[in-house]
């Protein structure tokens, strides 16, 4: 159980660093405004899906059953 929590913390740190790096580097790419906004929205959507996956994993460890929608994402 402790190894799973360490793994989840590691995943969240890696996702956070990737999000930070992309948000820092994205303005350096000369994209028109609609494409820059679309890429930022897709990045946030991906981050939310990863966080939902981590929450579903934590609920599974605790013995609780997550809603079927969240479990379908995993």
Looking at the predicted structure, is the pLDDT value of residue 71 above 60? no
Contact 26, 39 (CB under 8 A): yes
The confidence score (pLDDT) of residue 17 equals 92
Distance in angstroms (rounded) separating the CA atoms of residues 71 and 52: 9
User: pTM (2 decimals)?
Assistant: 0.65
Token reading at 45: 């959507």
**Is residue 66's pLDDT more than 60?**
no
The 10 Å Cβ neighbour count of residue 37 is 11
Residue 68 near residue 44 (C-beta atoms within 8 A)? no
Mean pLDDT across the stretch 33-49? 88
* Cα separation of the two ends of the chain: 19
Please, which pLDDT band fits residue 12 given cuts at 50, 70 and 90? Answer: confident
């Amino acid at each position: 159980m402790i190894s799973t929590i360490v793994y989840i913390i590691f995943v969240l740190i890696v996702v956070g660093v990737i999000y930070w790096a992309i948000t820092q580097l994205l303005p350096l790419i000369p994209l028109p405004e609609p494409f820059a906004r679309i890429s930022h929205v897709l990045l946030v959507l991906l981050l939310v899906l990863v966080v939902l996956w981590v929450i579903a994993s934590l609920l599974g460890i605790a013995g609780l059953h997550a809603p079927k929608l969240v479990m379908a994402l995993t």
